Amino acid sequence: MSSVESVEQLHLSEDYTISDNLFPMRKSGPKRKISLEQEFLLVMMRLRLGLLIEDLAFRFCISAGTVSQIIITWVILLSKELDNLILWPSRNTIRATMPNCFKRLYPKVRTIIDCSEIFFETSSALDVQACMWSDYKHHATVNFLIAITPNGAISWLSPLYGGRASDIFIVRNSGFLDILEPYDQVMADRGFKIRTGLAYKQCTLCIPPSAVKGIQMSKEEV
């Protein structure tokens, strides 16, 4: 059985459907190489499994260029459609959904933040290369700030910044501080030197115990 036949068996199931209202992709123009359902599956395989463009092209019997265009189109669409799913919960919602371990140890925490870094294709423009270069990763990257609630739900995402941008710069310039309310407590690791910036918003910083190289954390710290 070919790869495409396996894909077709999966997407032809009645339970595997994509709402035209959610994904208004049907339009006039050149005939699609594969169906909408197959395009969606291709993108999910790329995002979840990290399969190479050439691998996906072979599996779906299309060109690598077509795969790239499909991924770009769907990622832009998904970004717009799913953006509304990221909500900044009220304090009452945070308290109502807070895990017992947080209630006992960190009852005032409103959000937990960290920065993530993703490898990026190196630009041919020297000025862009300088902005995207990460000394930490030794590669061109993009950085972004992510905030989650104590129960693990993503509650805020920053815009993307070049790898040159520090965590502190992103916190100060991304708009994150603007969504905080007085007396909110933010949890972050010790690398975030943002205590003063939070103080201007009448907020506080909570730094949980962290492991020191060569020293095992105690049971209480864990």
- State what percent of residues in the chain have pLDDT above 70: 81
Whole-prediction pTM: 0.74
CB 102, CB 202: distance < 8 Å: no
Write out the two tokens for 84.
Answer: 């509304």
Confidence class of residue 211 from pLDDT cuts 50, 70 and 90? low
R_g of the chain computed on alpha carbons: 22
Residue 147, strand partner residues: 113, 156
In the prediction, which pLDDT does 82 show? 87
CB 161, CB 146: distance < 8 Å: no
CB 187, CB 164: distance < 8 Å: no
The Cα–Cα gap between 16 and 9 comes to: 10
Least confident range from 21-25, 93-97, 184-188: namely 21-25
CB 141, CB 117: distance < 8 Å: yes
The Cα–Cα gap between 67 and 48 comes to: 16
Between the CA atoms of 155, 84, 70 and 126, what dihedral angle is there, to the nearest 10 degrees?
-60
